[in-house]
């Protein structure tokens, strides 16, 4: 079972592929390395991957919401999954918006 579902997300997202050829059900090479922070299915996948790697449980929903907000607030030029994750890790303890 997924840690986060669409009903857990608090921010607004597009649930349609934004570019021709972008399929929300397909995770290709670019989808594994880039994140479009305005597409709900990509944000959901990112959060669930971090939750899985971090072994979060349903008791950690607040961490998921914090991650969702941090993902939206990360510097706009960051689109690469690794860069976003590095920024989140570096700012996790001090971020409190």
8-59 per-position pLDDT tens digit: 999 999 998 655 555 555 555 555 689 999 999 999 999 999 999 999 999 9
| 96 lies in some domain | no
Structural domain boundaries enclosing 80:
6-17+27-91
Reported as a pLDDT band with limits 50, 70 and 90, residue 2 is: confident
| 1 lies in some domain | no
| 74 lies in some domain | yes
pLDDT value for 17: 62
| 53 lies in some domain | yes
Read off the pTM: 0.84
57-97 per-position pLDDT tens digit: 999 999 999 999 999 999 999 999 999 999 999 999 999 88
Number of domains in the chain: 1
d(CA 57, CA 63): 10
d(CA 75, CA 54): 23
């Amino acid at each position: 079972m997924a840690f986060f579902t669409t009903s857990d997300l608090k921010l607004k997202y597009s649930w349609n592929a934004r570019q021709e050829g972008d399929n929300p059900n397909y995770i290709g090479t670019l989808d594994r390395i880039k994140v479009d922070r305005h597409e709900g299915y990509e944000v959901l996948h990112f959060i669930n991957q971090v939750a899985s790697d971090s072994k979060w449980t349903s008791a950690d929903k607040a961490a998921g919401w914090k991650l969702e907000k941090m993902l939206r607030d990360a510097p706009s030029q960051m689109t690469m999954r690794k860069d976003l994750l590095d920024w989140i890790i570096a700012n996790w303890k001090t971020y409190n918006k």
